[in-house]
Amino acid sequence: MGKDKADALKAFLARLPGKIAAPLATAIEADRLVNPAGLPHETILDGLRPVLRGAETRPHRLRTPLRVFCEPFEDLLVGDHEGAKVEGRIARSSLRPVWRLVQDVAGKPFAARTASLTGALLGRTEAELAEIVPLFQAEAAAALATALEAGSAPALADPDLCADAEEIRRLLAIAPLTLSLRTRFIRPVPTLEDADLDIIRACYEDVGSVHPDAARYVPVIVLGRLARPWEILRVLAKLARSQSDTLVSQTDVGLVGELLLHDLERLAERIEAAEPASFDPETLGTAISQFARLGHGLTTELDIHRHGPWGERLAELRARVGTRMERFLDQSVRDVTGLLAVRRPGNPRRRHERQADLGRPLDDARAGRARAVVQLVTSCRGVAAQAAFNVAHATCVERISESLDDYVPAILEALKGADEELLPIAQAYFGAAVELIGLLRGEAEADLLRRKGAIARAG
């Protein structure tokens, strides 16, 4: 299929409703197992992926040879490497090049093994799968080892892909030893119990006795399955027999702590990249919440000293986020105070009064920015202190509250006395004020203000 036709097909598929896309994806995956040379399966699935990501109905994911290949390291997969390759993270974009490399190096015997695996997957023969899967993964690991040792494959010219391939090889090699771990810990694991820690330690010791270079990946596998990822530090403390970040960071299991700090750094970068003029409150609020919870979790689970290797980085990240959010809120709150503008009357006897400024129609863009600011500060109420901008957050909320308290009586008075020309303008500003009140103080107070507005207009 040519590129133009493929693009047209993807564009068509991207418009399908989720309830149609999900069963279609399942059917295409099933057909790919039976007849891999028939339909343009990859093109169709690529076109469906944007719909499936946002669909309420998730497709039933069939086990395929490629998925079985990925199962031992699926918990390390990320969308792509942001910047330099990070140990313990494998880019999804590396999967198909590595898979093709395995197929090329392993040749016909591996193709026959893959065909046997496909038959067992289609027949759902659990006993046969239990026998074939370990052999399939071991042969894939051996093929990768051969390719990496030779280093002649064109795909391995990319250093990041080569590093991903090496980690894939290590995790394929220990797949039988980590199977019980992957079977027990089904994501999302709500919390780690003491018995879980013993199981993880036993697996770590088993892997270390056979593949010492891969033992550090055992906690990483569990990390990808936890609802509270910082709880993995309990495992580190048990394995390193220390609560000190200085000591734990120097052991091989320190890799998982480095990954948590890497995640914290990526969150800090997203927060720093947000601009007051164009930010999305849900996206930024989620990043701040995740940063606060993860940073707090790190200090709760491990004795992280300010002058230790992890403590210094954590303190630096908190300072960066705190400084950025102080400036961000100071700039963005002006969209709220500017929207709720009041002026003093020209009559000296009424200088103590406030009048809503109806000199121009409501600016929808500014109203949208004001709404976003209030949504953000509301979502940050419980986490601002943990993200090191509690004072800036409290100051921002206070400034918004003072502006609303000044503006509400003024806009109610404007509604009462507005003529036919000014009434639509006054109503638009009043509606914006009601919306901000609802976001900041709750719908009960917003409803009360709506009733006051109706009374003011009727009076």
Structure confidence at residue 125 as a pLDDT band (50, 70, 90): confident
- Summarised one tens digit per residue, pLDDT across range 220-273 is 999 999 999 999 988 887 877 655 555 656 677 789 999 999 999 999 999 999
Residue 47 has pLDDT above 90, yes or no: no
Q: pLDDT exceeding 90 applies to what percent of the chain?
A: 66
Mean pLDDT of 43-48: 85
Residue 347 has pLDDT above 50, yes or no: no
Structure confidence at residue 369 as a pLDDT band (50, 70, 90): very high
> Smallest Cα–Cα separation from 388: which of 320, 339, 306, 459?
320
Rounded Cα–Cα distance for residues 425 and 364 (Å): 12
Mean pLDDT of 308-324: 92
Whether the pTM exceeds 0.75: the reply is yes
Mean pLDDT of the chain: 89
Domain extent listing, the chain: 3-62, 74-173, 268-458
CA angle 336, 343, 360 (to 5 degrees): 65
Residue 344 has pLDDT above 80, yes or no: no
Rounded Cα–Cα distance for residues 391 and 217 (Å): 40
Structure confidence at residue 380 as a pLDDT band (50, 70, 90): very high
Mean pLDDT of 408-422: 91
Rounded Cα–Cα distance for residues 376 and 285 (Å): 6
Contact 400, 375 (CB under 8 A): no
Which H/E stretch holds residue 342? Answer: strand 342-343
Q: At what angle do helices 126-150 and 175-184 cross, to 10 degrees?
A: 130
